[in-house]
Amino acid sequence: MSVTIKDIARQAGVSHTTVSRALNDSPLINEETKDRIRTLATKMDYTPNFSAKSLVLDRSYNLGLFFTTLSQGTSAGFFYEAIRGVNNVIQDRYQLIVKGIDDYTSFHSITRKSFDGIIVVSQSDDDQPFIDHATDKGIPLVVLNRPIDTPGVLNVISDEEQGAFLAVSYLIEQGHQRIALVEGRAGFKSAQNRKKGFERAMLHNRLTVNSNYRFPGLYDLESGHKAMQHFLTLAERPTAVFCCNDEMALGAMKAISEAGMLVPRDVSIIGFDNTVYAAYVTPALTTVHRPIEQISKEGATRLISNIENKQHETEQVLLKTELVVRESVRSLLNG
């Protein structure tokens, strides 16, 4: 059917070995023959058979991009930016295969043969068995977005604890003291770190956290909505709420306006993630920007470098987050 190096060899009057070497730019082959063969190859519209290459070279040309889950809980924007970032650096050297870890009942089929490298965009501790499996099998690996304890694994993350600290410190600077927290999805490391940053900022300013001022969330709009409804029933309402992501912040804003109140006049809201929508909500949401696309670019670049140089760098890379001030926080300072 399709043209192979043997076809080219026949046409060129050489052996298929020579063709193979010529197309791989081997120094063994005369420059003129190389040229002749190369032009002949393009003229004959030759495409290498990657299955055959894979078989003999023991490389799959596949990079796996694994998310904790595809079917639930991953925000669309997050997902999109991660794929963009990775896609951007792999170009045509690899095929990008997108998977959800929770699609697997057994990791048996995940081997060195099927993936030259794996990028895990991790959102939960539940990914650990998968990460261990990949490490055991000796597959080059990078874990993004969630800090990893396992030594010997490349890890690129944003400093979320610092981001939350930044956000809450900002609230305090603006004069807020009764600050509430809508937590992230239980089990997600990001939820823990953002909470930690919140607590550190409070402690650092010698503020105590009312236990009524914490509410569990699921990172979705609905749980932010519910949390805010709860806060609004309290006799002494918080003046500001730190939501562990933007979606929940939007839900909270919704609840506030449903109660006939206004953001930020009655309650200040701050989010996390800097979703595209954050800028266009009314009022525009003050939030923390997390450089997902940059994380995934950085991760993919380092992974590929590890693969191609057969090295095994295992650094942990921390990328800084930054506060994006918009309109959803009111200053309580009388000036």
Does position 17 interact with DNA (CB under 7 A)? The reply is yes
Strand 240-243 relative to strand 179-182, pairing: parallel
Name the region of 332 (left: φ>0; alpha: ψ -120 to 50; beta: rest).
alpha
Candidate segments 13-21, 234-242, 247-255, 310-318, binder of its own copies by CB under 8 A: 247-255
Among 36, 40, 79, 216, binds its own copies (CB under 8 A): 79
Among 29, 63, 182, 249, binds DNA (CB under 7 A): 29
DSSP string, 97-112: EEEEGGG-S--TT--T
13 binds, among DNA, its own copies, none (CB under 5 to 8 A by kind): DNA
Distance (Å, rounded) from C-alpha 291 to C-alpha 157?
A: 9
E-assigned strand segments in the chain: 62-67, 95-100, 117-121, 141-144, 154-158, 179-182, 214-215, 240-243, 268-270, 287-289, 316-319, 322-324
Q: How far is the CB of 27 from DNA (least distance, A)?
A: 7
Does position 3 interact with its own copies (CB under 8 A)? The reply is no
DSSP string, 281-314: SSSPPBEEE--HHHHHHHHHHHHHHHHHTT----
Cβ-based nearer residue to DNA, 23 or 284:
23
Q: How many CB atoms lie within 10 A of CB 25?
A: 9
Cβ-based nearer residue to its own copies, 155 or 223:
223
Does position 48 interact with DNA (CB under 7 A)? The reply is yes
Q: Going by C-beta distance under 8 Å and a sequence separation of 6 or more, which residues neighbour residue 146?
A: 122, 123, 124, 127, 157, 188, 189, 190
Q: How far is the CB of 25 from DNA (least distance, A)?
A: 11
256-295 residues in contact with its own copies (CB under 8 A) are: 257, 276-277, 279-282
Cβ-based nearer residue to DNA, 31 or 149:
31
Q: How far is the CB of 118 from its own copies (least distance, A)?
A: 13
| 67 φ/ψ angles, rounded to the nearest 5 degrees | -100, 155
Cβ-based nearer residue to DNA, 26 or 331:
26
Q: Which amino acid is at 73?
A: G
Does position 50 interact with its own copies (CB under 8 A)? The reply is yes
Q: How far is the CB of 1 from its own copies (least distance, A)?
A: 8
| 63 φ/ψ angles, rounded to the nearest 5 degrees | -115, 130
The sheet with strand 240-243 has its strands ordered as 214-215, 179-182, 240-243, 268-270
User: Rule CB under 8 A: which residues touch its own copies?
Assistant: 1-2, 45, 47, 49-52, 54-55, 60, 62, 70-71, 74, 76-77, 79-81, 83-84, 87-88, 91-92, 95-100, 103-104, 108-109, 111-114, 221, 225, 250-251, 253-254, 257, 276-277, 279-282
Site residues for DNA per CB under 7 A: 1-2, 4-6, 13-18, 20-21, 23-24, 28-31, 33, 46, 48-49, 52-53, 55-57
